[in-house]
Every structure is written in structure tokens, then in C-alpha cells.
Amino acid sequence: MKIEGLYLKNFLSHESTEVVFNDDVAVNVIIGQNGAGKTSLIQGIIFSIFREADKGNQADLVRKGAVEGTVKMKFRWGNRTCEVIRHVSVKGKAEDDILVCDGIPKARGIRKVSDEMVNMLGVNGDLAKSTFIVREGKIMDILEENILGETLSETIKADKLNKLTDSNGYIRSIMKEVEKELEIINELERQIEDDRKYLELKRKELNDKKGEITAITAVLDSIKTEENALRIRYDELKKRKESYIELNKEMTMKRQEVEKLNQEIESLSKLVSDIDLLRKQLESLKSYKEMESEINSYSETKQNLEKLRNLLENQEKEIKNKRIKLKKKEETEPFYYKYLEIQERLKLNKKALNDLSRYKGQLDKIKEELDRTQEEVSQIDVEKLQQEIEDLTRERENKGKNRDDIQKEIGGIESQIRELEDSLRRVEKLDSDTCPICGSHLDEEHKQKIQQEKESKLIVLKKRKEDLKRELEDLKSKLNSLDGKIELLKVNLSEIKSKIDRLEKLKKDFDLINNKINDYDKLEFIVRQDEEIIEKEELEAKFRTYLSVKEVTEEEIRDMESEKQEIQIHIEDLSNKLKTVERKLNGLTVEQVREKIEDYNKIDRKIRDIEKYEEVLKKDKEKLSEIKNDIEEISASISRLNYNQEEYNEVERRIEKVRKELEDNISKRAELQGNITQLEKEIEQKEKEMHEKEHRISKKQAYENSEKKLEKLREDLGDSGLKKFLIESVIALLVSNLNDILGKFDLAFRNVDIKAVTSGRTKIRTDFKIEIYNTKGDSLSIDNLSGGEKISLALALRLALTRIISNPGFIILDEPTVHLDEERRKKLIEIIKSVNNVVPQILVITHDEEVLDAADVVFRVTKENGVSKVRIELPGES
């Protein structure tokens, strides 16, 4: 795993920080004063991988004043590009964590993402902090025997093996379960004989109950036979009873009908007796009835005649009015067309005047802007401005070349400084009196002379580097100043060109509008002249008069005259029709004749009603005769039924008695059947229990064998078995890697061994002792090592452990120089430079400026207004 970038939002003291780690860079130094927020970057990496906080609640990781914090870490995992995103909230539940690889979600949710990250890295958080994540002041803790022991024990999961094999462990718990099962099987063997006796008793009881059911079933069959015979007789008597009731009901209804018909016949006979007298009266009024249609049309004709006379009068008035309007139309028509013509001309001319008036207002504004713009343009020399821009641009290019030359020179000087410093270190470390370069004799005086020369040269180079840096800063300031001047001149030039373009447009607009307004006075005179004509000749009033009579025509008046003649003819026809009807009345009034007709209608309706009654009377007499015959037939049918109510009641009582006996016996049989079913279930359950017990007893031998095998397994996994093998294998692999890494450092010793030391009465804890050997094979104590050698050993041991655990691809050193004296700090810096041969990515967090000598890239962390900021520096920048 290689970390490529880290983004913190509202995390600890970082409001919005993004750090990108270059693939080609080995040593990344994160530097800043205490409290600046540099350690927060490492906490962000640890939180991304393990979702762990150093201390306190995870909600405390959210920046003060914010509600939610976010950490994103981008990294390489094999050939895949991955990103893990974590969220933390002060209000409890935050947005889901997510892990994405090559753009595809790999895990979502706190638990799943954490499990996947541990799986990818190969270690948990505790083991990581014991190896490749080195917290402040902890770099040499790994050399302590108990801490190394805990780390290796965690590596081989020794605690899990102990838990598996101790007296309360998993294997022993399984053995206890086996022992418990064997005790149960022994008890089951004792129970099985009692179960057999119980089954024998229950089966005998079941047979007795089945015999009782057979006897009750025979009784039930006899009762059912008797019930069926009674049911047949009962059904027959029930049908007779229903027929008897129905016939008596019908007889009663028929007798009621006879009584009702006799009353109706008597009433109708009285009504029919007056019909002859009414017919004579009707004949005497017949002549008036024949005049009914003429009388009805008389009133209608009289009303129509009155309407026509009113219509004739209105028609004559309308014709007169139309003739007056037609005369006005003929008088005003010429003035109407003249008014229209003048109005159309006025409309066009007034519109043209409005347009010209607007142009006059625009002309003054354009003239004012034209004069102002012309004056502004005339005061500026465009060619001079362009020449000034060109001069400044050339000057900027020259200074830019000077800046590049100075940067190249600084790079060369830094390379010379590093070579001189390396050379001085090699001279200081020389134990022999032979020059490592040429092989000639090298005494102490010569050695000091070489050191003085190199130190003098180093001082000169460093001073030249500082002078060049100051010169470079001065050049950068001048370049920034030139950039500002050039940009300002370009803006001014652009504004001037815009004003020149605007000036040309204003000239064209002025000429165009000035040409348009020359005809304004002439057009104004024409408009006034037309308005005077309309007023003098009163054209508008005559126009409106014409509009009011425009629709009247001679043809319309002729049509109205024709309608008038038709109305007069119709009036004459109606008058003659009225006179004819009046002659037929023979002196009677119309109202008197209407009364005679009404009398005729009343008598006619009464006669028709009586004739209906005669028909009803005839039918009633026929129906009466039929009903009397029906009554005689019903009486005969009742006699033939031969129905006896006492016999019906006796059969009903016997049926009820038999039904009760049947229900009692059915209930007894159901109870017995329930007992049988219960017994069968008990027998079946007991047989099932016995089968299960026998099946469980059959496994007794297997459990006894398992007990022996588990005891053997416990011995094999114990201190003398698998645990011992794992410890020896891990130590061998660790020692091999440790010596390989130490070989890459410039140290006085070349070989290290690690031995396991088992302690404690129960042998459940294993510590590890580190043994060191010089090139001659002599054993050395850790206490005899120099401070730098101890740091080298501690760092190499952590890297070796990292290799055998998961080889994550990076190491984190948090304030590695804290509590170290000057000699150890310098040695640590040399070691950090060498470590990139072992691990490709190193992250160092420090407040110590000396550590920058080991940096390939520097991330400087500062705090502004309580918020942490990060900026990248190249080595040597400050």
C-alpha cells in the first residue's frame, strides 16, 4: 500500500486541507511548530485505515464550530487505485463510510470498510502501532523484551492459542460438553426400560376403549333405523297439515270475495237506472256541440285581427322614419369619404413627426457624446502606449531568464554542498589511517587539513547559496511588479481602442439622424392644414351622422311597403271570417253558446261512466257464480285429506325422544374417540422419545472416542506443540529480515539474533531476548551500543516485523527526534535517508528543522486564526 493523497475537512484543526504525495518521492517530511496541526495529518491517515482516535471520543475529531468532519485517503494497492472516505459527526450518526477501488465501491459502512482496510493492510491498529506506525517518543520501545514479546505474540496469535488450550479454553469447553453428553446417555439407558412398561399399559387401555366404541356403534345403528321410519311418517303428516292449512286459508278468502261482490253489485244496479233520462238531455244539446270548433276559433281570430292592426300602424311609422334617414345619408355621404381620406393622411404624417422628434432628442445626446469621446481619444498616443508594453515585455523576458539561471546555479550549489557534507561525514568516521579514496597514508594532521578545506569550501558555498536566494527573491519581486505594469497598460490600451471604435460609430449615427430631420417643418405645416379643414367644414360631426344612417337603403323601404300591403289584405280576410260566425249564433252571445257546450260535455261524460258500470256489473255477476263453485270444490278436497292433528303431535314427540337418545350416544362415542386419539398420541410420542434415546445411546462410543482425541489435540497445540513451532518459525524469519535490513546501514555490528524466553508457572507468556554480535562473532549487550546504533537497531527491527506481517509499503515516524540528544538526532537523520532502500515511502512528522536534511519533499504546517494550513516546499526552501 502506498499513500498518494490525504484530504481533511473540518478534522481537528484543519478546515480544508489537501496533501498530495509524489510517487517518485521517498522521504516526506511534515514540519511545523507544536500545535500547528502536523500530527493531525497522521491521525487522519490512522483514522482512514483503522477509524481510531488517539484519545477521547471520535466526535472530538470534528473541528470546533463544525457539525461533521470528513477524511479522504487515496492510495495504491497492488495495481489498483483506491480511495477510503470516512465521516464523523458531533450529532451521532454521520454519512456512511465508503471504500472505492478503480471507481467501483468495494465496501460501505463503518464496520465493513474497517474490516476491508485491515484485510488489505494485513494488520490491526495495535500491531501497526508496534511496527510501521511509530508514535512520538516510542521509536526504541520495541527493543524492550516484553514489548517485543507482545508484538510477536500478536503476530502468531499466541493469545488465541493459549485461549484454545488452557483449562478454560475452547477445547476444554468442548470436552466438558462431551462429558456432559456421556452422563446424559448413561441416564437415558436407565430410563429406556421404564418407557417400555409404560407403553404396555397404554396399549392395553387403547384396546379396551376400542371395544367400547364397537358396542356404542351398534346401538347408534338401531336408533338411526327407528328415526328414519318416524321421519318418513312425520314428513307425510306434515305435507297433509300444510295442504289442510292452505285449503282453509283459500276457503276464507273466497267467502270474503263473495261478500264484497254482493255489495258492489247492489251499488252498481242503482247507478245504471238513470241512463235513459241522460241520453234525452244529451240529444237536445247536440246542435251547440257541433258549433264548438267555430266558437273556439272566433276568439283567436279576434285577437289576431287586433295584433295585425297594431302591426300595420307600427309599419307605417317605421317606413316614414326610414325615409328621413335615407335623406340624411345622401346629404352626408361625400363628407364621410373626405373625412376618412384626411384622417389616414394625418395618421401617417403624425407618426412621421413623432419619429423625427425622437431623432432630434437623440441627435443632441449623440453630439454631446461625440465631442466628449473625440476629446478623450485626441489626448492619448496609442503608438507610444504599445511601444511601452513591448519594452516592458522584453525586460520581463530578460529577468525571467536571469531567474532560471539563478535557480539552476542554486541547484548546482546544493548538490556540491551535499557532496561536501557526505565527504566530511566519511572522513569523521574513518577508523583507519588510510584514505578511502586514493589509498595513501592519512595522518591526523592531514585529516584535519582536509576537513578544514572542505568546511571552508562548504561555508563559501552556503554563503553563495544564501546570496543567490536573496537575489532570486528580489528578481521574483521585480517580475511580479513588471507583470502588474504590463497588465495595467494592456487594460488601458484595450479601453482606448474601444473608445476609438465608439467614436467612428457615433459619427455615422450623427450623419444618419441629421439627414432625417430636415423635412420636419414642412411635414408639420401639412398636418396643421389638414386639422383646420376638419374643424372648418365640421367633417367629424358629418362623419358620425353618416355612420348612424349608413345601413338604410331604398330597397329596404320598398320591402317594408310590400309587407304593409300583405298585412292589410290579412286584416280584411279576418274581418269577413268574424262576421260569418256571428250570423250563425242566432242572437246568442259566444259566452252563452260556450255554456251550452259545457253542459253537453258533462252529460256525455256521465253517460260514458254509467256504460262502464254496466259492463263491470255484468262481470261481477259472472265472477260471483265462479267463486261459489270454487267453494264447493275446496270443501270436497278438505274432506278427502283425512288430516288428524293429534296423530301429527304424537309422531313429533316420538321423533324428539329418539333424536335425544341419538345425540347422547354420539356424544359418548366422540368422548371415547377422543380418549383413543389421546392414547395413540401418547403412545406415538413415547415411541418417538424411545427412538431418540436409543439413537442418542448409539453414539456413546463415538463420544468416548472424541473425548480422547480432544485431550490429544490440546496437548499438540500447547507450549510443546504448535505454539513452539510457530514461535521458532517467526523468529527465524524475523532474524533473516532484520540482518538483511541492518546490512543496508553503516553500523559496527553485522549480526543480530532473537531468542524466545518462556516465563510464568503456567507458561502462557513468551518474551524475546535480543542478542547482538560484532564482525568477530563476539556477543554485545544493547546497553553497549551507541545512541545512533540503538536507533538503527530499533528502526530495523520495526521494518523487519513489518515485512513478515504485511509489508505495507510505508512507515510513519511521529516526532522521531524527541528526547534525543544532538548525536542521536544526526544519526537518525542518516538512517532515515538510508531507509528508503527498505521501504518505498517514509512519512516523518517533526518540529525539528534539522530533519529537513533528510527530506525529498517538505510539507510545512502553520496555524492561521486557529486553522491549520499546509504548503509544499522543496528541500532548502523556508
Q: C-alpha angle with apex 607: 603 to 613, nearest 5 degrees?
A: 145
pLDDT value, residue 436: 47
Cell, residue 354? 413623432
Residues in the chain: 878
- Return the closest-CA partner of residue 738 out of 811, 805, 795, 780: 795
Cα gap 163→717, rounded to integer Å: 11
Which of 192-206, 697-711, 714-728 is most confident? 192-206
pLDDT exceeds 70 at position 759: no
CATH 3.40.50.300 at 1-122+808-878, yes or no: yes
- What lies within 8 Å, CB to CB, of 575 at 6+ separation is 305
Q: Using an 8 Å Cβ cutoff, are 206 and 683 in contact?
A: yes
What percentage of the chain carries pLDDT values higher than 70? 89
* 100 confidence band (pLDDT: 50, 70, 90): very high
pLDDT value, residue 862: 94
pLDDT value, residue 715: 65
Q: Using an 8 Å Cβ cutoff, are 269 and 621 in contact?
A: no
Question: For residue 669, how far is the Cα from the chain centroid?
Answer: 67
- Known binding residues for Zn(2+): 435, 438
Cα gap 802→129, rounded to integer Å: 10
Cell, residue 455? 568546511
For residue 98, count other CB atoms closer than 10 A to its CB: 18
- What are phi and psi for residue 786, nearest 5 degrees? -70, 165
pLDDT exceeds 60 at position 799: yes
* 18 confidence band (pLDDT: 50, 70, 90): very high
Look at residue 552 and give its three-state secondary structure.
Answer: coil
pLDDT value, residue 99: 94
Cα gap 475→398, rounded to integer Å: 11
Among 39-43, 593-597, 700-704, 708-712, name the one with the lowest average pLDDT: 708-712
Cell, residue 304? 289576431
Cell, residue 766? 513468551
Which of 21-30, 577-586, 728-737 is most confident? 21-30
More confident residue, 70 or 529: 70
pLDDT value, residue 730: 74
pLDDT value, residue 777: 76
Radius of gyration in angstroms for the set of CA atoms belonging to the chain, rounded to a whole number: 65
* 166 confidence band (pLDDT: 50, 70, 90): low
Q: Which residue has the cell 552556503?
A: 462
Instruction: Kindly report, residue by residue over 305-345, the tens digit of the pLDDT.
Output: 888 888 888 888 888 888 888 888 888 888 888 888 888 88
Strand order in the sheet with 779-780: 749-759, 765-774, 779-780
* 725 confidence band (pLDDT: 50, 70, 90): low
Instruction: Kindly report, residue by residue over 69-96, the tens digit of the pLDDT.
Output: 999 999 998 889 999 999 999 887 778 8
pLDDT value, residue 157: 56
* 806 confidence band (pLDDT: 50, 70, 90): low
Q: Using an 8 Å Cβ cutoff, are 363 and 510 in contact?
A: yes
Question: What are the boundaries of each domain within the chain?
Answer: 1-122+808-878, 141-155+719-795
Which of 114-118, 380-384, 522-526, 769-773 is most confident? 114-118
Element (H, E) at 187: helix 170-272
- Known binding residues for ATP: 34-40
* 108 confidence band (pLDDT: 50, 70, 90): very high
Cell, residue 674? 377422543
pLDDT value, residue 785: 81
Q: C-alpha angle with apex 196: 191 to 201, nearest 5 degrees?
A: 125
pLDDT value, residue 764: 45
Cα gap 826→851, rounded to integer Å: 8
Among 26-30, 285-289, 841-845, name the one with the lowest average pLDDT: 285-289
Query: What spatial distance separates the first Cα and last Cα of the chain, rounded to whole Å?
Result: 31
Pairing label, strands 749-759, 68-77: unpaired
Instruction: Kindly report, residue by residue over 346-392, the tens digit of the pLDDT.
Output: 888 888 778 777 777 777 787 787 778 777 777 777 778 788 888 88
Cα gap 279→41, rounded to integer Å: 131
DSSP-H helix ranges across 285-433 = 286-290, 292-378, 382-429
* 758 confidence band (pLDDT: 50, 70, 90): low
- Known binding residues: 34-40, 435, 438
What average pLDDT does the chain have?
Answer: 81
Instruction: Kindly report, residue by residue over 401-445, the tens digit of the pLDDT.
Output: 888 888 888 888 888 888 888 778 777 766 555 554 444 555 677
Compute the half-sphere exposure of residue 644: CA atoms within 13 Å on the CB side of its CA. Answer: 6
